């Protein structure tokens, strides 16, 4: 019997402190998933819902992809676990090379982690240690951005830009500052792809550097498209400008591609779509199609090579995880990358994106819809906040979608976020948009104005 078939008793519901969840409210009427297939989840009440968020921005190839399931089943019968501390197993090396082949040119080295949060903390540590390895230990500052989500490690929340995720946890990392976020509804509402206005928001980096002294700054980290705070595509030219400023001052640029990596935008990485190569790329989620935890930090050769000096017996970076390069995760990742590339799923993501965009923008003009923004198979529909509290409008729409439309979407603040599996077809796009249209119309309040 699969564990999912075991009913959740009241005691078991109480035992699991669920992450990022209003636990007491959830447990009054739990919503449980008991199965999955392709684009669909099976709920405990017998309903099948279309998963328009790919689990949690991760199941890009669709659920229980046969190639990935088969690879994991085969692996578990051969090698269950092997450490990567001073011993290894072949799959981790093969996977690293495979990732390097997919990465932007010149990024040929990979450090394995188990999650996006660990990838971010690893990348920040590598950035700090890189400067020190080059004899430039004065560079200790890190610059993040408002409205950034970089996971929940102390590094990630320090450079992250979500107040309520930072304020409960003390002083965080020293020497961190933040760029302004790039959302600009007044000038950019209903943009398709990169919004036209806002490149000057990158110039704020020069102002921060003037404030702190650029020679003290180690790295700048941004999500190329901020995901968890409402899907914010970068203004045209913005990322390139950040790259130029970082280059000018010898600062490393990190792209957090935990959501955008592996085809979400129709290219291997967001770096490819926007034509800007960072020094480090953090990944997780889609790397294994969500089937088993794994993350990876990809880096430019120059960053890696700076550590490969001194005694060959010395550990170059005092960092790593028990499960770095776990065999089961490597098997899942190899099969996932095959699905993305050899089975053409990244190409499919790119091919469906224009129809996705076209359909989503028909929601403009509905009551309370104040923005629709999208890039690739990633979209945000922002709703006018209701008086009873931030997020309540989007939560009502999301609830209506799952209850009435059979579509699972995600509410982040007052934005409905969409990030469907790449395998979706036009009819699925239609179902998602029809369900949103009905939900927005039927939950509308007299105070909701049309934009
Ligand atoms: C951009 C970004 N970075 C980091 C993370 C954290 O990943 P994880 O939850 O696997 O630690 C996320 C998760 O959504 C993310 O979107």
Question: For the packed helices 426-443 and 345-360, what is the interaxial angle rounded to 10 degrees?
Answer: 30
The pLDDT tens digits of the residues spanning 98-120 come to: 999 999 999 999 999 999 999 99
Instruction: Provide mean pLDDT across the span 235-264.
Output: 98
According to CATH, the topology of domain 70-341 is: 3.40.640
Q: Whose CA is nearest to atom 3 of ligand 1?
A: 150
| Atom in ligand 1 nearest the alpha carbon of residue 115 | 10
Q: Which of 68, 19, 35, 14 is nearest to 335 (CA)?
A: 68
Q: State how far the Cα of 354 lies from the Cα of 360, in Å rounded to an integer.
A: 10
Where in the chain are the domains?
A: 3-60+344-443, 70-341
Please tell me the distance between residue 316's alpha carbon and the centre of ligand 1 in angstroms. 26
* Strand runs labelled E in 146-206: 176-179
- Considering the segment(s) 3-60+344-443 as one domain, its CATH architecture is Alpha-Beta Complex (3.90)
Residues ≥6 apart with Cβ < 8 Å to 179:
143, 144, 145, 146, 201, 202, 204, 205, 208, 220, 222
Produce one character per residue of 139-157: b if its CB has 16 or more CB atoms within 10 Å, e if not: bebbbbbbbbbbbbbebbb
Q: Report the range of poorest mean pLDDT among 163-167, 172-176, 201-205.
A: 163-167
- Tokens at 39, concatenated: 């684009």
Which position has the token pair 């198979």?
377
Q: State how far the Cα of 398 lies from the Cα of 378, in Å rounded to an integer.
A: 16
Pocket of ligand 1 (CB under 6 A): 115-117, 120, 149-151, 223, 227-228, 256, 258-259, 284
* Per-residue pLDDT at 1 exceeds 60: no
Q: State how far the Cα of 183 lies from the Cα of 308, in Å rounded to an integer.
A: 41
Q: Whose CA is nearest to atom 7 of ligand 1?
A: 116
| Atom in ligand 1 nearest the alpha carbon of residue 226 | 1
To the nearest 10°, the Cα dihedral for 320, 324, 325, 331? -170
Helix segments in 278-376, DSSP class H: 301-307, 327-341, 345-360
The pLDDT tens digits of the residues spanning 51-84 come to: 999 999 999 999 999 999 999 999 999 999 999 9
**Using 50, 70 and 90 to split pLDDT, how confident is the model at 294?**
very high
- Mutation pick for ligand 1 pocket among 258, 289, 291 (CB with most ligand atoms within 8 Å): 258
Please tell me the distance between residue 450's alpha carbon and the centre of ligand 1 in angstroms. 33
Q: Whose CA is nearest to atom 8 of ligand 1?
A: 116
To the nearest 10°, the Cα dihedral for 383, 385, 389, 395? -10
The pLDDT tens digits of the residues spanning 182-237 come to: 999 999 999 999 999 999 999 999 999 999 999 999 999 999 999 999 999 999 99
Q: Which of 281, 218, 228 is nearest to 252 (CA)?
A: 218
* Per-residue pLDDT at 7 exceeds 90: no
Please tell me the distance between residue 424's alpha carbon and the centre of ligand 1 in angstroms. 23
Produce one character per residue of 188-206: b if its CB has 16 or more CB atoms within 10 Å, e if not: bbbbebbbeebbebbebbe
Q: State how far the Cα of 161 lies from the Cα of 1, in Å rounded to an integer.
A: 43
Classified as helix, coil or strand, 279 is coil
């Amino acid at each position: 019997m699969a564990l999912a078939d075991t009913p959740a008793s009241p005691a078991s519901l109480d035992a699991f402190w669920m992450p990022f969840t209003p636990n007491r409210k959830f447990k009054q009427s739990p919503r449980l998933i008991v199965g999955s297939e392709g684009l669909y989840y099976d709920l405990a009440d017998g309903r099948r819902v279309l998963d328009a968020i790919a689990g949690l921005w991760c199941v890009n190839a669709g659920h229980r992809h046969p190639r990935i399931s088969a690879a994991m089943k085969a692996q578990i019968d051969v090698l269950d676990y092997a450490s990567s501390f001073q011993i290894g197993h072949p799959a981790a090396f093969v996977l690293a090379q495979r990732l390097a082949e997919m990465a932007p040119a010149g990024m040929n080295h990979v450090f394995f982690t188990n999650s996006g949060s660990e990838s971010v903390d690893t990348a920040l540590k590598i950035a700090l240690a890189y400067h020190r390895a080059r004899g430039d230990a004065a560079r200790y500052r890190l610059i993040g951005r408002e409205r950034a989500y970089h996971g929940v490690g102390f590094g990630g929340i320090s450079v992250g830009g979500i107040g309520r995720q930072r304020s409960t946890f003390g002083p965080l990392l020293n020497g961190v500052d933040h760029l302004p976020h790039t959302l600009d509804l007044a000038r950019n509402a209903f943009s398709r792809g990169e919004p036209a206005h806002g490149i000057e928001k990158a110039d704020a980096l020069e102002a921060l550097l003037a404030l702190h002294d650029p020679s003290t700054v180690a790295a700048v980290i941004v999500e190329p498209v901020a995901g968890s705070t409402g899907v914010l595509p970068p203004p045209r030219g913005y990322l390139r400008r950040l790259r130029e400023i970082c280059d000018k001052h010898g600062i490393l640029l990190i792209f957090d591609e935990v959501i955008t990596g592996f085809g979400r935008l129709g290219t291997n990485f967001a770096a490819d779509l926007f034509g800007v190569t960072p020094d480090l790329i953090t990944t997780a989620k889609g790397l294994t199609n969500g089937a088993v935890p794994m993350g990876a930090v990809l880096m430019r050769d120059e960053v890696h090579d700076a550590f490969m000096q001194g005694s060959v017996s010395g550990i170059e970076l005092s960092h790593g995880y028990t499960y770095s390069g776990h065999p089961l995760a490597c098997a899942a990742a190899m099969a996932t990358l095959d699905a993305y590339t050899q089975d053409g799923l990244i190409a499919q993501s790119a091919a469906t994106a224009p129809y996705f965009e076209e359909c989503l923008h028909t929601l403009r003009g509905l009551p309370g819809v104040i923005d629709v923004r999208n890039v690739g198979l990633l979209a945000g529909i922002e709703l006018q906040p209701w008086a009873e509290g931030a997020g309540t409008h989007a939560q009502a729409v999301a609830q209506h979608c799952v209850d009435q439309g059979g579509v699972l979407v995600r509410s982040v603040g007052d934005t409905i976020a969409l990030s469907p599996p790449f395998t979706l077809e036009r009819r699925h796009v239609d179902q998602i948009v029809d369900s949103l249209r009905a939900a927005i119309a039927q939950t509308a309040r007299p105070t909701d104005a049309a934009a």
